[in-house]
Amino acid sequence: MANTTPAQAQAQAHGRYIRGSASKVRRVLDQIRGRSYRDALILLEFMPYRSTGPITKVLRSAVANAEHNLGLDPATLVISQASADMGPSMKRFRPRAQGRAYAIKKQTCHISIAVAPST
């Protein structure tokens, strides 16, 4: 990010090949998008979903990138972008009655979070 002013400064982090479907991750990301870093951490801590663990990890990485690479204060950061895209599915088969096979798709997703200082 060469030649950026502080108003344009934005740090990103990506979590790739996370086990879990993208739609289940998106329902959590929709809740934290636009919130401050501190509020998002509190929300993630008390949400009852399994996907909050990897999302918290990616969020902390984005804030660490902002702090280390751009010199931004974590207390002023807001989640500016948060998205989850589908990753590759692992295909498994389960035996069923009369010699049939039942396909199981174990889905993965890619999580992207960007943080920027609040204006």
Work out the percent of the chain whose per-residue pLDDT is above 70. Answer: 94
In the chain, domain spans: 11-117
Cβ atoms of 58 and 111 within 8 Å: the answer is: yes
Q: Considering the chain, what percentage of its residues have pLDDT values greater than 90?
A: 91
Cβ neighbours of residue 117 closer than 8 Å, sequence gap 6 or more: 6, 7, 9, 72, 73, 76, 77, 78
The whole-angstrom separation of Cα 108 and Cα 105 is 9
Per-residue confidence (pLDDT) for residue 6, from 0 to 100: 53
11-117 falls under which CATH superfamily? Ribosomal protein L22/L17 (3.90.470.10)
Joined together, the tokens standing for residue 92 give 């498994």
What is the pLDDT at residue 118? 87
Q: Kindly report whether the global pTM for this prediction surpasses the value 0.85.
A: yes
Comparing 108 with 5, which gets the higher pLDDT? 108
